[in-house]
Amino acid sequence: SSLYEALCKRRARGQKSLAVLLDPDHLNEAGCRHLLELSESHPIDYFFVGGSLVMNSHQASLIRLIKSRSAVPVLLFPSHSLHLDSQADGILLLSLISGRNPEFLIGQHVIAAPLLRASELQILPTGYMLVDTGRQTTASYISGTTPLPYDKPNIAACTAMAGEQLGLRLMYLDGGSGAMYPVAPAMIRAVRHAVDVPLIVGGGINTAEKAQTALAAGADVLVVGNHIEKNPDFLPEVSRIVRTFNSVLDLSM
């Protein structure tokens, strides 16, 4: 089945998924090999690959390395049509619906469309919502957009609702990479209740407690980037949290 169908099935059972975000700018080959080893004994569900700025040309070799060592699906998390790579399994085709910059709502997608059609990448149309988490993130600066106000869950809920009505199949609430604090649980809950599509949450998840809070509030897919890059031992820890969450669920069914 497709990656999207598999995710929806997991979600229908109430199961959570874990995505580890690898930024080609931050990770060297040795670091990536180490994470791949850790992910053999501590399951994860996706590798997301991408970043707002791509300063080097390591993305292709990073994806090649993952694909040669791991069966974990690789999803592109692109910030630009230049960041496509057909070695990946799929792409989060992000429309930046929290912003009002047409370039990131539709413009880049027009450039990428024929390339995507020619590729075998599975396309996951994603409503991408940046949330203000205390300081300007690279993503909001580069995209030239104003993030959603941190303490206005209703704006996030209506944004997600509109995205779902437009046909987007996933929602992604992102505090931005290295956010000072993660998206508020009240906002996660509001979006969770507003839409039926799976919800991805990331940005600033750097403790077990923050991971648990986001999952309990309704994240279906938890994304961790920075903190695992800096402390690879967080991968086993957060993997355990997600599995524990899912096993408690199995017991109660």
Judged by beta carbon, residue 15 or residue 79, the one nearer ligand 1GP is 79
* Sign of CA pseudo-dihedral 243, 182, 127, 124: negative
| Cα angle 60-88-140, degrees, rounded to a multiple of 5 | 75
Residue 85 or 249: which CB sits closer to ligand 1GP?
85
Map tokens 């988490």 to a residue: 133
Nearer of residues 122 and 138 to ligand 1GP, judged by Cβ: 138
Angle between helices 185-194 and 208-217 (to 10 degrees): 30
CB of 226 to ligand 1GP, least distance (A): 3
Give the one residue of 27, 63, 211, 223 binding ligand 1GP; rule: CB under 6 A. 223
Q: Where are the alpha helices (DSSP H) in the chain?
A: 3-12, 29-41, 59-69, 102, 108-118, 138-143, 153-165, 185-194, 208-217, 226-230, 234-252
Residue of the chain from 18, 21, 121, 194 that contacts ligand 1GP (CB under 6 A):
21
Of the pair 39, 226, the CB lying nearest ligand 1GP is at 226
Positions 187 through 216 that interact with ligand 1GP (CB under 6 A): 202-205
Q: Which of 90, 178, 198, 218 binds ligand 1GP (CB under 6 A)?
A: 178
Residues that bind ligand 1GP in the complex, under the rule CB under 6 A: 21, 174, 176-179, 202-205, 223-227
